[in-house]
């Protein structure tokens, strides 16, 4: 497994991570919380397989299934240790800040110091751990100064409950202000061939500040794999049906990018998913002002087969010409449709 350093922490993490959200929520059959038990065994096996192959960067959040996903990750880690593994084999990353009711309804964002402390204790219980390796603020709370939120997170570090802190979907000004309070190890934001917004400012600022850029939805919520050709592919309650990029009109337009990916993937004998991930991995740099930061994709899956496919992207080497062809196939702003519904777009800190 290829490894990279997490920010300035000195911690070595796998160059690709595992996003666990879909194991509990939003996509496919797991959009129905009553059906999650149907996929739990395979999800647990997928997390354990990741750890056994040296993929140690495991991503979850307290709102994924309202605690179910954190419980699943904690259970998989305990099973890993019962089989002879170590707690240190996993870099457990979770998030707080998005608030949901017991029925899954969205209640807003909370970054107040009291909520930070409460959310951390709840996540530790769900995970069954005594510390969280990387703790993110999931969304920035516009009602709470970032200095107060990060100050509370810094206290968790001092107490040994959290090792390192991160932000998710934070604007560059927010990121700079946060770093004046406590070092930020990672910024997690959506980035892929059809979501290239971070190239405007975020990558440069992360490189300048020595922050690892964690790219979520690196496969465009499955679209860049080539398996979604129309909206009928998605279950009736799949959350992607609410995303403008997955409307019938948008899919027809955005498939032009998939066709470009498929063409280059065919030349390499790899899958479209591997090709799209290889492009993203190639955007990674060595840090420093005006250079690119480490870019660490966290493709999500609940199946061991797909996990192996994603890891295989580390062995795909695209030429400079091929990288440019892919970049030109979908320049920034090309994709049709916003990446979230309007309400969720408003929650992004810019």
Would residue 168 count as lying in a domain? yes
Q: Are strands 98-100 and 106-109 parallel, antiparallel or unpaired?
A: antiparallel
* pLDDT (0 to 100) of residue 350: 62
Give Cβ neighbours of residue 324 (< 8 Å, ≥ 6 apart).
Answer: none
Would residue 154 count as lying in a domain? yes
Q: Rounded to whole angstroms, how far apart are CA atoms 139 and 188?
A: 10
Count of C-beta atoms within a 10 Å radius of residue 105: 8
Considering only CA atoms, which of 289, 140, 206 is closest in space to residue 6?
Answer: 206
Judging by beta carbons within 10 Å of its beta carbon (0-12, 13-18, 19+), is residue 312 exposed, middle or buried?
middle
Percentage, residues of the chain above pLDDT 70: 98
The 10s digit of each residue's pLDDT in 184-205 is 999 999 999 999 999 999 999 9
Q: Rounded to whole angstroms, how far apart are CA atoms 300 and 112?
A: 29
* pLDDT (0 to 100) of residue 289: 65
- The CATH number that applies at residue 312 is 3.20.20.100
Q: Rounded to whole angstroms, how far apart are CA atoms 62 and 100?
A: 10
Considering only CA atoms, which of 175, 139, 101 is closest in space to residue 346?
Answer: 139
> Where does 98-241 show beta strands of DSSP type E?
98-100, 106-109, 132-137, 162-168, 186-190, 212-216
* pLDDT (0 to 100) of residue 70: 98
Q: Please list, residue by residue across 23-42, b when 16 or more beta carbons sit within 10 angstroms of its beta carbon and e when fewer do.
A: bbbbbbebbeeeebeebbee
Would residue 327 count as lying in a domain? no
- Give the pLDDT mean for 69-78: 98
Query: Which member of 64, 115, 135, 216 is catalytic?
Result: 64
* pLDDT (0 to 100) of residue 291: 80
Would residue 247 count as lying in a domain? no
Would residue 237 count as lying in a domain? no
Q: In terms of pLDDT, which residue wins out, 178 or 345?
A: 178
Which range is least confidently modeled, 163-177, 185-199, 207-221, 239-253? 239-253
Residue 288 pLDDT greater than 80, yes or no: no
Which range marks the domain in which residue 23 is found? 3-222+281-316
Would residue 37 count as lying in a domain? yes
- Is 135 catalytic? The answer is no
Q: How confident is the model at residue 325 (pLDDT cuts 50, 70, 90)?
A: very high
Would residue 296 count as lying in a domain? yes
Domain count within the chain: 1
Q: How confident is the model at residue 324 (pLDDT cuts 50, 70, 90)?
A: very high
Provide the angle, in degrees to the nearest 10, between the axes of the packed helices 320-329 and 248-268. 170
Q: In terms of pLDDT, which residue wins out, 203 or 34?
A: 203
* pLDDT (0 to 100) of residue 26: 84
Q: For residue 130, how far is the Cα from the chain centroid? A: 23
Would residue 244 count as lying in a domain? no
Q: Are 99 and 109 in contact (CB under 8 A)?
A: yes
């Amino acid at each position: 497994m290829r490894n990279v350093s997490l920010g300035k922490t000195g911690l070595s993490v796998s160059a690709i991570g595992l996003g666990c959200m879909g194991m509990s929520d939003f996509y496919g059959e797991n959009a129905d919380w009553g059906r999650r038990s149907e996929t739990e065994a395979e999800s647990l096996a997928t997390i354990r397989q990741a750890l056994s192959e040296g993929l140690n960067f495991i991503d979850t959040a307290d709102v994924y299934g309202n605690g179910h996903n954190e419980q699943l990750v904690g259970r998989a880690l305990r099973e890993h240790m019962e089989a002879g593994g170590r707690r240190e084999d996993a870099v457990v990353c979770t998030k707080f800040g998005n608030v949901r009711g017991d029925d899954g309804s969205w209640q807003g964002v909370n970054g107040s110091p009291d909520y930070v402390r409460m959310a951390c204790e709840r996540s530790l219980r769900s995970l069954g751990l005594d510390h969280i390796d990387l703790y993110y603020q999931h969304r920035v709370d516009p009602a709470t100064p970032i200095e107060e939120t990060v100050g509370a997170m810094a206290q968790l570090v001092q107490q040994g409950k959290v090792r390192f802190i991160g932000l998710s979907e934070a604007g560059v000004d927010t990121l700079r202000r946060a770093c004046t309070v406590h070092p930020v190890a990672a910024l997690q934001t959506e980035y892929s061939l059809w979501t290239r917004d971070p190239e405007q400012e975020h990558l440069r600022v992360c490189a300048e500040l020595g922050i690892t850029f964690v790219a979520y939805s690196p496969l465009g919520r499955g679209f860049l794999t080539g398996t979604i050709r129309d909206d009928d592919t998605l279950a009736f309650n799949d959350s992607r049906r609410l995303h403008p990029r997955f409307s019938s009109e948008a899919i027809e337009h955005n498939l032009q990018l998939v066709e470009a990916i498929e063409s280059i993937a065919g030349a390499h004998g790899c899958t479209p998913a591997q090709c799209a991930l290889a492009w993203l991995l190639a955007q990674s740099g060595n840090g420093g002002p005006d250079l690119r930061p480490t870019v660490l994709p966290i493709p999500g899956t609940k199946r061991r087969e797909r996990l192996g496919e994603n890891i295989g992207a580390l062995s795909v080497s695209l030429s400079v010409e091929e990288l440019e062809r892919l970049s030109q196939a979908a320049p920034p702003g090309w994709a049709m449709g916003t990446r979230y519904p309007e309400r969720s777009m408003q929650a992004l800190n810019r």
